[in-house]
Amino acid sequence: MPDRLGKLGHIGIAVSDLEEAKKLYGEVLGFTLTKEMEMPERGLKVAFFETGNTKIELLEGTTPESNITKYIEKRGTGIHHLSFEVDDIRRVMKELADDGVRLIDQEPRTGAEGHLTTFMHPKSTLGVLLEIEEE
Ligand code: ZN
């Protein structure tokens, strides 16, 4: 079987204070800040950092309804999701669904980096929130 998912695109980390997290990743750990944005419609502030070929997405919830705010209330700050690159997100979504993986959205949405993205439900992936992102 050909690879369904490509390489690990980024690791998503839920933080309660993006400025504090930016200091840790930027100044202490020496990652490079590559992108930063607010997504008010999803109640999110996001910053991307890179080191070597590893990318980290720091996510802070800005409203009580934000998925990240709710996640932190339940499970605390920390690793939130792993994102894998795919060539054709709609094809992979169909293959996953055919193999019994529950997807959170039936249609891909546009993610923080402007790529099509979707998430698998952690109940069908042994408790890990997995994202796929079309490159
Ligand atoms: Zn992500």
DSSP the chain: ---SS-SEEEEEEEES-HHHHHIIIIIIS-PEEEEEEEEGGGTEEEEEEEETTEEEEEEEE-STTSHHHHHHHHH-SEEEEEEEEES-HHHHHHHHHHTTPPBS-SS-EE-TTSSEEEEE-GGGTTT--EEEEE-
Span 13-40, average pLDDT: 97
Centroid of ligand 1 to alpha carbon of 7 (angstroms): 13
- So what's the pLDDT on residue 1? 63
Domain count, the chain: 1
**pLDDT band (50, 70, 90) for residue 81:** very high
Q: Is 110 domain-assigned?
A: yes
Q: Is 101 domain-assigned?
A: yes
Q: What is the C-alpha to C-alpha distance for residues 44 and 57, in angstroms, rounded to an integer?
A: 12
Q: Is 3 domain-assigned?
A: no
What is the percent of the chain where pLDDT is above 70?
A: 99
Span 79-104, average pLDDT: 97
Q: Is 2 domain-assigned?
A: no
Report CA torsion sign: 17, 74, 31, 42.
Answer: negative
Average pLDDT over the chain, rounded to whole?
95
How far is residue 47 CA from its own chain's centroid? 11
- Neighbouring residues of 20: CB distance < 8 A, sequence distance ≥ 6: none
Q: Is the pLDDT of residue 2 over 80?
A: no
* Residue with tokens 């990743």, as numbered in its chain: 25
Span 67-76, average pLDDT: 96
- CATH code, 44: 3.10.180.10
Residues near ion ligand 1 (Cβ under 5 Å) = 12, 57, 83, 131
Q: Is 61 domain-assigned?
A: yes
- So what's the pLDDT on residue 111? 85
Q: Is 1 domain-assigned?
A: no
What is the percent of the chain where pLDDT is above 90?
A: 93
Q: What is the length of the chain?
A: 135
| Full domain range(s) for residue 98 | 8-134
pLDDT tens for each residue of 94-110:
999 999 999 999 999 99
For the chain, the straight-line distance linking the first and the last C-alpha, in angstroms and rounded, comes to 21
Centroid of ligand 1 to alpha carbon of 10 (angstroms): 6
